[in-house]
Chain A
Amino acid sequence: MRPVLHRVVDRRRESDDVVTLALEPQGGRPWPFRAGQFHMLSAFGVGEAAISVSSPPGDAPVVEHTVRDVGPVTHAMCTAPPGTLVGVRGPFGTDWGIEGAAGDVVVAAGGIGLAPLRGAIHQLLASPRVERVFVVVGARSPAQVMFGEDLEVWATRGARVAVTVDVADRGWRGHVGLVTSLLGPLEYDPARTSALVCGPEIMMRFTARALLDRGVEPSRIRISLERNMQCGLGWCGHCQLGPLLLCRDGPVVTYDGAVPGLLLERER
């Protein structure tokens, strides 16, 4: 599967090391994808990396990706000025299953983990079967809180939005504490709740446990697992986690069956 050329048409800074790129396919429109899926983006002469789509599915002329500068490829992406050509392959992997969502939905994100959930939240707020959407977001510091405008839009569209940071000075008026501390006071109905969780794996594990303790069904908790990807097509085995090939069976999986154990095994 060969990369399709896309042009960077806009670059927006989300925090000191995170940038959102709007990409426009050369001579065409973006192909369909589902929220939670990812693309393999290539920076020519540097390499390729898996990056989730961060804009909602729809008929927009551009597709957005939110990238954190952690290494060669993501650095090239974060510093690519408008006009730069990049390669895009995909879409790959499983999605957040928004079509089946109903009742209450808790969305919990940590750090860059809000990026793959951004499109899903937009869709949840437009879904007639979803009653209440609770969005809880954890970041390291106030300066690292991404998608400030979206957070406001989601709140005005009816989502209960809460943001917490690990460290802050007195200028910050919001919460300070772990993201799980935001879950306790939420008035969702566990019997009719599904949850979408994305962030560092330890954060996802503790969030999933807090949801389970409240009575949310494991099969209704979805998390997103990230491992190094190469082919994206289920051929090379780079993304294997236990019996799963995460480019094909993930990144989004339900928190039941072998998944909780796989997370522990990996981190021992």
Chain B
Amino acid sequence: MIRRDVAEVVTAHPLLSGLPAPIIEELAGCARNVAFEAGALLLVEGSPADTFYLLRRGRVAIEVRSPVRGPLVIETTGPGDVVGWSWMVPPYRSQFDARALEPVGAVALDAVCLRTKAAADPSVGYLLLQRVSAVLIDRLQATRLRLLDLYEAPLAR
């Protein structure tokens, strides 16, 4: 029953919506519903990347700590977004902090469980990688544009 609830939530999230039901069932086996208070850390820089999150409500800041400038916000994410990429590739260590800016509801996916399932059934791994890559590419492109410092240039730049 609980597992079906999680499966419904997983299906509704943009990252995985539209995937075949058996695949969703497989992935839901690695998922659980979680909630965070404002200020709580979902991910901690340097710690093992054993979980990633599909956000359902609330916003999360991706931060990096600077000894001189304090915590800097790299990006904020919200409902429909994915938090955590480092679980995909060795050394499976979180690169940034992820902090709840407000009460957050999310689906937590157990990365070890997912990696095991993907290794056992490459078709699951392929579909998952395809979905995650689409989001990653989107983020990378947005980051590239931000590097251009567009608003500083006068007029047509």
Residues of A near any B CB (own CB < 8 A): 68, 70-71, 110-112, 138-140, 144, 164, 166-170, 172-178, 180-181, 184-185, 199-203, 206, 225-227, 266
Contact = CB atoms under 8 A, between A and B. Distances in A.
Interface in B51-73: 59, 61, 63, 69-73
A185 B157 CA distance: 27
Interface stretch (B4-12, B15-23, B76-84, B114-122): B76-84
B73 A176 contact: yes
Interface stretch (B28-36, B85-93, B126-134, B147-155): B147-155
A148 to B, nearest CB: 16
A68 B152 CA distance: 10
Contacts of B59: 175
A68 B74 CA distance: 26
B80 A184 contact: yes
Contacts of B150: 110-111, 199-200, 202-203
A185 B156 contact: no
Contact of A200 (B79, B101, B151): B151
A176 B143 CA distance: 11
Contacts of B72: 167-170
Contacts of B69: 169
A200 B157 contact: yes
A226 B156 contact: yes
Given A110-B151, A176-B74, A202-B145, A170 B63 contact: yes
Contacts of B153: 200
A173 B79 contact: no
Interface of B: 59, 61, 63, 69-76, 78-80, 101, 142, 145-146, 148-157
A185 B142 contact: no
B145 A140 contact: no
A170 B70 contact: yes
Between A110, A173, A200, the greatest number of chain B beta carbons within 10 A of the residue's beta carbon is seen for A200
Given A185-B80, A201-B156, A226-B156, A144 B70 contact: no
B40 to A, nearest CB: 14
A239 B41 CA distance: 52
A187 to B, nearest CB: 12
Contacts of A170: 61, 63, 70-73
Nearest to B59: A175
B148 A202 contact: yes
B151 A166 contact: yes
A200 B69 CA distance: 29
B60 to A, nearest CB: 11
